[in-house]
């Protein structure tokens, strides 16, 4: 293990991260808020930490797979720990653990919060919450690669952070890929900001909600989220951009080069839209039939919540915890599924679900024809059996961690459904759940042990399990042969 190189890269990353804290610091300074000192101290602590790591580290040496895993895991851990400082030092939360929960929730784009009244928070803290969403959405490491040209072994960092069963690239050089992804991400964010301002949202709220939308995060400047505005045009704009954010971003570059057909012909995108349409229709019918909500409002509420949940954004335009049980089951399933691979969305990803169904179908056919050689195709390509194995293991680990987290939360006194929804909504980086952590409540009622479990779930979910779990293997820290 090249610890010196790991320290060097983590040091440079922490120095960069302290630079982003300057943005909310300037907001606090302009509005003369009491959080000025909190940001000054946070910047100094983060900067000093980065300088210490940089002093001990060296750029020399080769970066292998192991170094890539350690750097990505270390980057998310360190940014989470220092990202909690503004909350704790400003008094926005009562304890550092609460600040860590808020920080991890922001960076992993989960959007779960322990703050009961966000409307009394300083603008600088609100902006920091949304900014952590935006930085974590496309990926801290992916952004870091953009600012550090000619980094040897950057492919290992890229592969360890990018979501999905495979790390798809649209350009040969990793830095070019990272730059193109961030250019698309930035352009879409700016477009949404302007559109929200045009339909009546003030500029500060537009920036915050656009950061949260494109990152599929869900932090809002209002206690009642998007329901506060009760504005159809605001909801439609956010719905469109949530759907956009839940799509593989590499498709947008391909569409720019080869036309929009690249997006609409993508098999994962087709299933993604199909799930949205079917879920929306079923929930709208349920709301119309059982709650006697008129057709237009049923469709409006159903569409917004379905898109918000499947993209793991977590915005709320209606209290879906009061909806019929059948609709809650649909939403719970969407929490597991999530968005497309290569998007900013969480969950297991649509591509993995499709591959699992194909794998199940193949095994059924193989039971009838044991000697048959059956190749599975996905996106017009034959799927490597190794990918099937990886998807199956991911599915098993996801459900195992979900079950364990649900048990631990139930053990501290949570109702079974509440515990399960809390586990899946954090592991899938969704945000709101049901019951005590429903769309109109927060996670503030959960004790310190429960918060710690959910923090771990959020990190595991954002890094898609393997990046963190591989670190607990003793073999990982032994001889680097074969790595």
Q: How far apart are CA 181 and CA 179, in angstroms?
A: 5
- Confidence check: pLDDT of 150 > 60: no
- Confidence check: pLDDT of 216 > 60: yes
pLDDT tens per residue across span 167-204: 555 555 667 777 888 899 999 999 999 999 999 999 99
Give the position of tokens 């996801």.
Answer: 398
Q: How far apart are CA 105 and CA 434, in angstroms?
A: 17
Report, as an integer, the average pLDDT of 438-464: 95
Q: What is the DSSP letter of 44?
A: H
- Residue 112 near residue 192, CB atoms below 8 Å: no
Which of 93, 82, 95, 72 shows the shortest CA–CA distance to 49? 82
- Residue 465 near residue 456, CB atoms below 8 Å: no
pLDDT tens per residue across span 236-247: 999 999 999 999
Instruction: Name all contacts of 411-417 with Cβ < 8 Å and 24+ positions apart.
Output: 412/446, 412/447, 412/449, 412/450, 414/446, 414/450
pLDDT at 153: 60
Which of 464, 392, 452, 393 shows the shortest CA–CA distance to 427? 464
Residue 295 inside a domain? The answer is no
Residue 389 inside a domain? The answer is no
Q: Which residues are annotated as a binding site for K(+)?
A: 109-110, 217, 312-313, 429-430
Residue 483 inside a domain? The answer is no
At what angle are helices 295-310 and 325-337 packed, to 10 degrees?
A: 30
Q: Where are the alpha helices (DSSP H) in 91-173?
A: 96-107, 123-138, 140-147, 154-161
Q: Which residues are annotated as a binding site?
A: 109-110, 217, 312-313, 429-430
Average pLDDT, the chain: 89
| 377 Cβ contact partners less than 8 Å away, ≥ 6 residues apart | 383
Q: How far apart are CA 301 and CA 298, in angstroms?
A: 5
CA-CA-CA-CA torsion for 323, 329, 335, 338, nearest 10 degrees?
-110
Residue 28 inside a domain? The answer is yes
How many of the other CB atoms lie within 10 Å of CB of 411?
A: 12
Structure tokens that stand for 257 in this block: 């080069």
- Residue 366 near residue 349, CB atoms below 8 Å: no
Which of 447, 430, 448 shows the shortest CA–CA distance to 439? 430
Name the pTM for this structure: 0.92
- Confidence check: pLDDT of 151 > 80: no
- Confidence check: pLDDT of 88 > 70: yes
pLDDT tens per residue across span 275-331: 999 999 999 999 999 998 898 999 999 999 999 999 999 999 999 999 999 999 999
pLDDT at 462: 92
pLDDT at 262: 86
Residue 271 inside a domain? The answer is no
Domain, as residue range, for 19: 1-159
Residue 293 inside a domain? The answer is no
**What are the backbone angles phi and psi of residue 381, rounded to the nearest 5°?**
-130, 145
- Residue 88 near residue 95, CB atoms below 8 Å: yes
**Total structural domains within the chain:** 1
pLDDT at 176: 76
Q: How far apart are CA 51 and CA 45, in angstroms?
A: 10
Structure tokens that stand for 446 in this block: 């959960």
pLDDT at 482: 45
> By mean pLDDT, which of 135-139, 235-239, 426-430, 457-461 is the weakest?
135-139
Q: How far apart are CA 366 and CA 369, in angstroms?
A: 5
Coil/strand/helix, residue 382:
strand
Residue 369 inside a domain? The answer is no
Report, as an integer, the average pLDDT of 349-371: 86
pLDDT at 483: 47
- Residue 343 near residue 247, CB atoms below 8 Å: yes
Q: What is the DSSP letter of 169?
A: -
Residue 342 inside a domain? The answer is no
Q: What is the DSSP letter of 383?
A: P
Band of pLDDT at residue 362, cut at 50, 70 and 90: confident
Band of pLDDT at residue 156, cut at 50, 70 and 90: low
Structure tokens that stand for 90 in this block: 């400003």
How many of the other CB atoms lie within 10 Å of CB of 457?
A: 28
pLDDT tens per residue across span 294-306: 989 999 999 999 9
């Amino acid at each position: 293990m090249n610890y010196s190189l790991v320290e060097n890269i983590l040091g440079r990353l922490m120095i960069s991260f302290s630079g982003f804290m300057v943005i909310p610091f300037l907001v606090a300074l302009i509005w003369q808020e009491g959080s000025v000192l909190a940001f000054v101290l946070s910047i100094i602590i983060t900067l000093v930490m980065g300088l210490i790591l940089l002093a001990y580290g060296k750029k020399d040496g080769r970066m292998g797979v192991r170094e890539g895993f350690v750097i990505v895991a270390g980057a998310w851990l360190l940014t989470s720990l220092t990202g909690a400082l503004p909350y704790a030092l400003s008094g926005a939360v009562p304890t550092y653990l609460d600040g860590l929960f808020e920080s991890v929730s922001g960076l992993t784009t989960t959007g779960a919060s322990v703050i009961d009244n966000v409307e009394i928070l300083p603008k600088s803290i609100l902006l920091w919450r949304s900014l952590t969403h935006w930085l974590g959405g496309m990926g801290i490491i992916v952004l870091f690669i953009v600012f550090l040209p000619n980094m040897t072994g950057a492919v290992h960092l890229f592969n360890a952070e990018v979501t999905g069963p495979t790390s798809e690239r649209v350009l040969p050089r990793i830095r070019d890929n990272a730059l193109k992804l961030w250019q698309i991400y930035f352009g879409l964010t700016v477009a949404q900001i302007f559109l929200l301002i045009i339909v009546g949202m003030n500029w500060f709220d537009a920036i915050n909600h656009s950061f949260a939308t494109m990152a599929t995060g869900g932090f809002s400047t209002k206690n009642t989220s998007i329901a506060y505005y009760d504005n159809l045009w605001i909801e439609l704009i956010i719905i469109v951009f949530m759907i956009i954010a839940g799509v593989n971003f590499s498709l947008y570059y391909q569409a720019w080069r080869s036309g929009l057909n690249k997006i609409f012909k993508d098999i994962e995108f087709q299933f993604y839209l199909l799930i949205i349409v079917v879920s929306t229709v079923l929930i709208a019918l349920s709301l119309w039939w059982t709650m006697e909500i008129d057709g237009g409002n049923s469709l409006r509420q159903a569409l917004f919540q379905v898109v918000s949940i499947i993209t793991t954004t977590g915005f709320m335009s209606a209290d879906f915890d009061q909806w019929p049980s059948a609709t809650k089951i649909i939403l719970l399933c969407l929490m597991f599924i999530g968005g497309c691979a290569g998007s900013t969305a969480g969950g297991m990803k649509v591509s993995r679900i499709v591959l699992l169904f194909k794998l199940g179908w193949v095994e059924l056919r193989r039971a009838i024809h044991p000697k048959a050689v059956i190749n599975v195709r996905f996106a017009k390509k034959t799927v490597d059996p190794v990918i099937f194995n990886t998807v199956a293991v991911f599915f098993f680990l996801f459900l195992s961690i979900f079950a364990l987290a649900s048990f631990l939360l139930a053990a501290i006194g949570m109702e079974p459904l509440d515990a399960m929804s809390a586990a899946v909504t954090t592991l899938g980086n969704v945000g709101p759940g049901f019951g005590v952590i429903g769309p109109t409540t927060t996670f503030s009622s959960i004790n310190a042990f429960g918060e710690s479990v959910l923090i771990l779930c959020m990190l595991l979910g954002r890094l898609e399990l393997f990046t963190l779990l591989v670190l607990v293997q003793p073999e990982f820290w032994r001889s680097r042969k074969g790595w």
